Structure 1
């Protein structure tokens, strides 16, 4: 019996050692998180002790950028490693209908082929491929929201002038501010199609991110019990600080409204801009101010809500890391934290995302790997982008294999960031010296006809379809206040940056790279519908990532009726 026990113990040690030697990976994906982290200095009042601590334990990339500044195409890109300009997926179409992405392996799919178990909770993909995950946890849901008895509605504490933007993007209120609309009192959970119960801070339903923490806690217990478990890829998608900016009151209490500092903005900053007029971000800030008795105070309420949502997201990060670090997987799990894109909070007179300015392209990116403890707390200033996440994870975790699975697939565009973990100031990196971002021009399906921007170490150069340009010297103008594009003394640097951009942009998108529904030239009506979708994403009532004509007509009729009523 004694001999059997000894053998069992040795086998257990062997199983544990085998598991401990494998590199797991934990992706923490934030939503609409800009540079408002303490360690990034985006806002002096931002409270992010958990993300700041993670940065002190890993490497912080200070010049990391999204390749497209809106959720769905950004997530499709970093989960495939394929740049939006290589796939043709840079707007609001459903990535699951994109032929290039369908013929390219996504990250969890490749990991599973390498013997990993792939787990996801919250929002990671915007549209989830069926072949991606071993197991899915909590379904993504941005709410709770106000409810009028039939549909989600504008929260009564928010300006009525914001109603045309949809309840999702116009809601910013404490969870304790229980709404009462159209005879219905209470929050609503559209995901489960039932009321979201709120009695007090301590007696209420859990929000999506809080549910994900509990799911993750149970999953880690199960993984710890399995001493011979396969390596895992864990993707934890955090909903905040995406709108609605609704979080528990305790996070609002951290920021006294009267003391909230507004983002630093320059008067008449938009005078030298060739783009932005009529955009959704401009509509949002104008609507907020138009419906307020005190526009500055109302804007403070929005900033307070965003700060509170950032603090809430940071608390979720802290709880998640505490669970991981309290397990036996701490030392052999690579942690990669980043956001899908940034968010403008008033800068450039813009209150939204999907633009090519610094606040919306720049994202936090932190990588912690115990094998590179010597680099802990270091920062990297070299420009990188989110397409580098895929090859970095596969490199660090020993995930190999062909990523193209069909004739229309595209190879990975990104490059592993491992050299920066080894030597944060290295110049020995095989990736580009600029991060390339895109938003749709709605004019053409050619990559060169989109609105494009590159961010180098010192400069941002942006070229809009139609000829508009922006040029900013980040050494002297970190806020991008002074557009130098039309100053003759900067012609040489502009020509150099334009050539650098042109070398990175495919001249044409192969027909196979265009989603099936876009292979034919779009009519003017279809282009208008696409633009309308960009302004009113809530019009997509079935949340399939596309705006049908029926959805467009229904939303437009309701919007026109509301406008007529207000007049």
Structure 2
């Protein structure tokens, strides 16, 4: 007995030592918590030199990647600036918060919505846990301005980004808007993003690591968002004659109205492109736009390197976690569309690079783990040794930074909501997931984004192989008619995780029946349902959405025999009564 007790004590002691060692590793040298520099670019697609696409040059980011972990399978949860940034800062799904357009993605609106779920935004949470917070630029879907309530909520200090961004002209209606490109003769610091980084460097000059708290710095670089305005030195990095335009079309048989963004998406807001669509824009104009976009990416890359140089000069680099990410992907003419706002891989996948100076053995490696932008908030919390925030939806992937072979999530979702009244759909929802094999599954339906559809509600499906037998972010062939078994597996995966995506226990938005009661009797295999409302219909669906029972009744109480259904399966019962609907899950 004594031997067994001593062995048990030894195991407990060893476990305690391991936990202590992990805690020390997470906190850093000499008990110091690491600083954080979080940099988010706007509209930056993954397909740059950083990921092996040499056409768009990113020398400073590529150099940083040698001392960081580069994520190959990082995804936004909404392919639009405001909603995606709200996801990052609050770590809540857009279908839960209702932030599915840009305006609600501004700082105050995001903070208010997060507070309704008892969640604090990421900078605020770090400040509550002993960090000095500083930020500026486009962190949310607005410029962070000192003295405004949204900035005060998150930051101790606010960095100005006052500067120029493009050249304006006059639209036919008299409105002043920018030209789509600008090969600028202004200096770097005269541009908004350049001014932001210059002010961030000045702030670091005042920071005293010996007497101050660790800092959490958020820098919102607007480029490469249009207008594609960058100092001429970055335009000079490219030869327009060598720029190629895309000839990629949407796969045959795919409904473009449901699958893609507007055909004039990028062009309508600029004085020299409002007359074009993705189908008729001249090749020379396409090359000019791609040239401008590329110059802006290289400009943003330079600015990242500039802030890194300052960290090194101030001896802060070796105790600072650096995160570089974009809010979503981007199209440059693929499928005859430009910009973002689809759930295709090209718009959903994002660049993500994280440098933690404490784990050099993983530096220079590429992780294939599936992670979401929703996961950054809890990941940084864990890396910095502060308690994981409660009530958020994100999952920490800190373990990947300490072992890049860790697999990460089994899937991640991206959703888009918009009006398609021109084809008779007032509210069209596109929900897409990517799995570890590299298959992307998408379903489109009309209704509410937090109402999970039954099979008959779905208007169209898409299924693409991106990384299983292909290696491309392009949606090449819709496999719905040839991979029917895989299609059902992917739909089942969506349904089994629908609570995670919609934030609803039943995955369906209920208008509850009055005094609804139900229970399943396993011995008789019958479900008993009662309500003060007169029950008109009960439809029961299996986990892949097939309707297996459909009863029309006018009663307050009924029992349904489920003996003909498979055991050890989950079913959904949709109960309807005069405009009200409740959905319950039944485990048989």
Mapping of residues 487-566 of structure 1, within 5 Å: 487=481, 489-506=482-499
Pick from 328, 342, 347 the counterpart of residue 360 of structure 1: 347
Structure 1 CA distance for aligned equivalents of residues 416 and 460 of structure 2: 14
Shift in Å, 1:399 = 2.1
Structure 2 CA distance for aligned equivalents of residues 391 and 439 of structure 1: 24
Shift in Å, 1:328 = 2.0
Mapping of residues 157-306 of structure 1, within 5 Å: 167=177, 171-176=180-185, 198=186, 206-224=190-208, 227-263=210-246, 265-266=247-248, 268-276=249-257, 281-284=262-265, 288=273, 295-306=282-293
Q: Does 1:351 align with 2:338?
A: yes
Q: Does 1:23 align with 2:31?
A: no
Mapping of residues 467-506 of structure 1, within 5 Å: 467-474=459-466, 475-477=468-470, 478-487=472-481, 489-506=482-499
For residues 404-427 of structure 1, what are the alpha-carbon distances to aligned partners after superposition, in whole Å with 9 as ceiling and x for unaligned? xxxxxxx11111111111111124
Report the equivalent of 1:5. Answer: none
Change in 2 beyond 3 A, CA 1:382/1:402: closer
SS in 2 for 1:319: helix
Corresponding residue pairs, total = 440
The structure with higher relative contact order (CA 8 Å, sep 6+) is 1
Structure 2 CA distance for aligned equivalents of residues 107 and 92 of structure 1: 19
CA contact (8 A) 2:259 2:342 kept: no
Shift in Å, 1:338 = 0.5
Report the equivalent of 1:389. Answer: 376
Shift in Å, 1:164 = 11
Change in 2 beyond 3 A, CA 1:231/1:286: closer
Structure 1 CA distance for aligned equivalents of residues 434 and 195 of structure 2: 37
Shift in Å, 1:45 = 1.5
Report the equivalent of 2:134. Answer: 119
SS in 2 for 1:230: coil
Q: Does 1:83 align with 2:98?
A: no
Mapping of residues 309-458 of structure 1, within 5 Å: 309-400=296-387, 402-403=389-390, 411-427=391-407, 429=408, 432-442=409-419, 450-457=429-436, 458=438
CA contact (8 A) 1:37 1:51 kept: no
Shift in Å, 1:37 = 2.4
Shift in Å, 1:78 = 0.5
Change in 2 beyond 3 A, CA 1:390/1:37: same
Structure 1 CA distance for aligned equivalents of residues 312 and 128 of structure 2: 27
For residues 86-129 of structure 1, what are the alpha-carbon distances to aligned partners after superposition, in whole Å with 9 as ceiling and x for unaligned? 21212234244465423320011111111100000211122563
> Which protein has the bigger strand share?
2
Gaps of 5+ in 2: 1-27, 145-149, 422-426, 447-458, 506-588
TM-score of the two chains, using structure 2 as the length reference: 0.69
Pick from 294, 307, 310 the counterpart of residue 307 of structure 1: 294
CA contact (8 A) 1:289 1:295 kept: no
Report the equivalent of 1:65. Answer: 75
Structure 2 CA distance for aligned equivalents of residues 286 and 214 of structure 1: 31
SS in 2 for 1:395: helix
Shift in Å, 1:166 = 8.3
Structure 2 CA distance for aligned equivalents of residues 421 and 401 of structure 1: 17
Change in 2 beyond 3 A, CA 1:20/1:173: farther
Shift in Å, 1:325 = 2.0
Change in 2 beyond 3 A, CA 1:402/1:60: closer
Mapping of residues 135-146 of structure 1, within 5 Å: 135-139=157-161, 143-146=164-167
Moved more, 434-443 or 55-64: 434-443
> Which protein has the bigger helix share?
1
Structure 2 CA distance for aligned equivalents of residues 279 and 115 of structure 1: 44
Shift in Å, 1:388 = 0.8
Shift in Å, 1:274 = 1.9
TM-score of the two chains, using structure 1 as the length reference: 0.71
Structure 2 CA distance for aligned equivalents of residues 338 and 299 of structure 1: 26
CA contact (8 A) 2:374 2:394 kept: yes
Q: CA RMSD in A?
A: 3.1
Q: Which has the larger radius of gyration?
A: 2
Report the equivalent of 2:572. Answer: none
Change in 2 beyond 3 A, CA 1:309/1:281: farther
Gaps of 5+ in 1: 1-16, 155-159, 177-197, 404-410, 512-567
CA contact (8 A) 1:119 1:233 kept: yes
Structure 2 CA distance for aligned equivalents of residues 19 and 75 of structure 1: 34
